[in-house]
Amino acid sequence: MQITQHISNINFDTIPVDRFWNMGVEKESKMHKIHAYPAKFPAFITTKALEYVAKKGAHVKKIADIFCGCGTTAYEASRNGIDYWGCDINPVATLIAEVKSKSYATDKLNKYFSEIIDNFYKARISESDIEGISDRIKYWYSVEQISGLLRLKNTIKEVIPAKSKYQNFFLCAFSNILKLTSVWLTKSIKPQVDPNKNPIDVIQAFRLQFDFMKKASEESNGLTGSNVEIENANILKRKITKSFVDLIITSPPYVTSYEYADLHQLSTLWLEFTEDYKSFREGTIGSLYHDSNFKEDIKELNNTGEKIVFQLYNQDKRKAKSAAKYYVDMQRCIKKSYNMLNDNGFAFFVIGNTEYKTVHIDNAKHLVESMITYGFTDIEVTKREISGKILTPYRDEKGKFTTDKNSRKVYSEEFIVIGKKTRNG
């Protein structure tokens, strides 16, 4: 749907699903599955976006993703021989993205793996090593599992040169077995213990993870070697002094989204990105844990954001304050996106609407109003169905899908919002 009228007159939820954006023609690369990550968008979105802008006569030399997550767009850009720049505030995300966008020699991977296994069985962990582990880690693991994970992490760092792409490869593998080897409730969107879970043995999990990642690497060795830059940074604090990309493809967090810092706490603690995972909440767009000035945020909100925030305020004041901060941050992100784009460049935003305590959270409309405000033209809004795995729009209190209509409602569709930076527009 082309936006040719004032958006206050448009009900975005009535926009029909466009099958073009529903499914790719190619099988998704194994590299996209090397590490679990919440709310990933499908890899084919990048390919479809490139096809779309090609029909519009655009030539794309560089793609950006301001919420790069685990590097879906980074990998697809490299696969298509296009330079890429991306950033994310989450160091776990940027580790995965870095690993995805590199090529590896299989013989070297095998050599390092053998050395890691040999040294693992020779390594020793003392009682003082266990005692030095944070209480938060001890909450999720038995002493036996902690000992195994410590030995494995230490061995990886001893065997492979620091900061090399190979060390990152094996630390990524280590990161992805952390939930399997813990009592974390599988596939939950909230951190909680599964009292019935029997955690998998550390080395067994590591062998399986390595085998999969090696196959993914072998499948992906056709990467073109385009220039890929990934920064562990907050886009809101990143200085943008000039335009430098032709296409932005990104999926912003939702206002009632996951607490990513909570979901990645095992990796951030084990990989020593932080001593307190809660510190990552501050600055994460969409988090409830912001220290912001509500009265000042209200002044910056556009019409759609203000309407949603005041509806929320009647239901949940804390959520309303976090929503105000979220929408102000998103408006600033849209402005930065516009400034990053070269003339005649395009931006693609993948985002969904949600509901919170009967309040309709119209993220898509807020996004479009923000794009209009900051100069985007030729704005088009379309809709796609989210994965067929989601068979019901409800989640229970543990975050699992349910058919109980009294549970929290989530949406099974999302919007793709497209805008252009017209020369001198």
The predicted-structure confidence for 218-239, as pLDDT tens digits, reads as follows: 998 767 779 999 999 999 999 9
Number of Cβ within a 10 Å radius of residue 145: 19
Higher pLDDT, 261 or 196: 196
Indicate the pLDDT class of residue 188, thresholds 50, 70 and 90: confident
Taking each helix axis from N to C end, the angle separating 106-122 and 165-176, rounded to the nearest 10 degrees, works out to 60
What band does 399 get if pLDDT is binned at 50, 70 and 90?
A: very low
Long-range contacts of 293-298 (CB under 8 A, 24+ apart): 294/320, 294/321, 294/324, 297/321, 297/324, 297/325, 297/327, 297/328, 298/324
> CA–CA separation, 36 vs 54, rounded Å?
32
Tokens 């023609």 -> residue? 25
Fold of 7-103+222-421: Rossmann fold (3.40.50)
The DSSP string of 65-76 is ETT-TTTHHHHH
Asked if 140 and 264 touch (Cβ cutoff 8 Å), the reply is: no
Distance CA 308, CA 415 (A): 18
Mean pLDDT on 265-279: 85
Residue spans of alpha helices (H) in 220-356? 260-263, 265-270, 294-300, 303-313, 317-340
Tokens standing for residue 149: 């994970």
pLDDT one-digit tens code per residue, 299-353: 999 999 999 999 999 888 888 888 999 999 999 999 999 999 999 999 999 999 9
What confidence tens digit (pLDDT) does each residue in 11-68 have?
888 899 998 898 877 788 999 999 999 878 899 999 999 999 999 999 999 999 999 9
CA distance 395 to 407: 6
Domain borders along the chain are 7-103+222-421, 106-219
Q: In this predicted model, what pLDDT tens digit does every residue of 82-132 receive, in sequence order?
A: 999 999 999 999 999 999 999 999 999 999 999 999 999 999 999 899 999
What's the pLDDT score for residue 1? 82
The reported pLDDT for the residue numbered 278 is: 66
Instruction: Identify the three-state secondary structure at position 15.
Output: coil
Give which of 312, 320, 309, 304 is closest to 372, Cα–Cα: 304
Question: Distance between CA 16 and CA 221 in Å, rounded?
Answer: 39
The helix or strand, by DSSP H or E, that contains position 379, with its residue range, turns out to be strand 377-385
87 forms bridges with which residues in the sheet? 231
Phi, psi for residue 192 in degrees, rounded to 5: -155, 150
| The overall pTM is greater than 0.85 | yes
Alpha-carbon span 193 to 183, nearest angstrom? 6
* Strands 377-385 and 359-361, bridge-based pairing: unpaired
